[in-house]
Amino acid sequence: MTAEELVYGCEGNGVPQVALLDASEAGLDADALRRWARRVAAASGAPYTSRSYRYPYALVAWHNQPVGTDIERIGPCDEAFAELICTPVERPTTPGPFGRDIYLTSLWSGKEALAKALGDAVAYEPSRLASPALWPRGRAGTWRAEELRAPPGHVAWLCWRSSGTSPALASPKLERRGALMEPVR
Return averaged pLDDT per consecutive 10 residues of the chain, 185 residues in all: 44 78 93 96 96 97 96 92 90 70 93 93 85 92 93 95 62 44 40
Look at residue 61 in the predicted model and tell me its pLDDT: 96
Look at residue 13 in the predicted model and tell me its pLDDT: 57
Distance between CA 117 and CA 69 in Å, rounded? 8
Look at residue 122 in the predicted model and tell me its pLDDT: 80
Four-point Cα dihedral 137, 49, 148, 93, nearest 10: -70
Neighbour-count burial of 127, counting CB atoms closer than 10 A to its CB (0-12 exposed, 13-18 middle, 19+ buried)? middle
Look at residue 94 in the predicted model and tell me its pLDDT: 63
Look at residue 177 in the predicted model and tell me its pLDDT: 44
